[in-house]
Amino acid sequence: MVQTVSTNTENFFIDALSDLQIDKKRIILLESIATCIVNELKQHKNVHLNYICTHNSRRSQLAQIWSNYASNYFKINNIENFSGGTAVTSFFRNTVKTLQEVGFKFQLLEFSHQNPEYLISYKNCTNPIIGFSKLYDHEHNKNPYIAITTCTNADENCPFIPDAVQRFHLPFNDPKSYDNTLYQSEKYLEASKQIAGEIHFIFNIIKNSI
């Protein structure tokens, strides 16, 4: 798939943390997620993270990919990252585009008008991601896992997630509301940067604690 890279993935990831603006309550939440991951690593050696959003098309996909990047960036090989939804749609084209703009490469593995499957990689990638929309309990997602809901609907619609050893609600603003507007690219990039920055924050704590 042809793409134009406008910035370096590593620089974007570093800048996302540097430019991160969050309140004390959000910091406590991020620290709690990091502490839980560290405790699971120390107890079980391996951790699965499952980012869950209603349609598994935007925020949960961004979170999985940046979490995978963070695992690679900090050389934490025993964290595996997944995503899922409460319904199946597709890895939305604008989500793909905003990730391509910061250096992620998408190779089409299986064509489908409804739900194409991609192999996603980046510079120095050691663990490419298979990306497509799926339910949070899809067989592709390993369990047990730490569940992280990235939208309010998913949190409300899943009062009980059977395979979750722990659960956190980490909602992000949905760029979907800016689809087909003049602000579309800007808002998708903002969402990606916010998610990248918060995941960088979490993984920085993990790296310094193990």
Check pLDDT > 50 for residue 142.
yes
Query: Is 118 a residue whose pLDDT tops 90?
Result: yes
Q: Is the model's pLDDT at 4 over the cut of 50? A: no
pLDDT band per the 50, 70, 90 thresholds, residue 80: very high
For tokens 């800048």, the residue is: 15
Answer whether 68's CB lies under 8 Å from 201's CB: no
* pLDDT at 152 exceeding the cut of 90: no
- What is the tens place of the pLDDT at every residue in 89-109? 999 999 999 999 999 999 999
Helix (H, G, I), strand (E, B) or coil at 143: coil
Please report the sign of the dihedral spanned by the C-alpha atoms of residue 197, residue 91, residue 172, residue 182.
Answer: positive
Retrieve residue 81's tokens.
Answer: 């990252």
What CATH number does the domain located at 17-203 have? Answer: 3.40.50.2300
DSSP line for 42-109: HHHS-EEEEEE-SSSSSHHHHHHHHHHHHHHHTT-TTEEEEEEBSS-----HHHHHHHHTTT-EEEEE
Q: Residue ranges per domain, the chain?
A: 17-203
Q: pLDDT class for 117, splitting at 50, 70, 90?
A: very high
Residue among 37, 192, 172 nearest 101 (CA): 192
Give the dihedral sign, CA 176/73/199/51: positive
100/186 Cα distance (integer angstroms)? 14
- Measured in degrees and rounded to the nearest 5, phi and psi for residue 24 equal -60, -35
Are 50 and 148 in contact, with CB atoms under 8 Å apart? yes
Average pLDDT, stretch 13-40?
98
Instruction: Write out the H or E segment, with its range, that includes residue 205.
Output: helix 184-209
Residue 44 structure tokens: 């079980």
pLDDT beyond 70 at 153: yes
Q: What is the mean pLDDT of residues 119-148?
A: 96
Alpha-carbon distances, residue 35 vs 1, 18, 24, 27, 146 (angstroms): 39, 21, 16, 12, 12
Residue 121: is it exposed, middle or buried by C-beta count within 10 angstroms (0-12/13-18/19+)? middle
Report percent pLDDT > 90 for the chain. 90
The predicted model gives 36-47 an average pLDDT of: 96
pTM for the whole thing?
Answer: 0.94
- What is the reported pLDDT for 93? 96
Rg (CA), the chain: 16
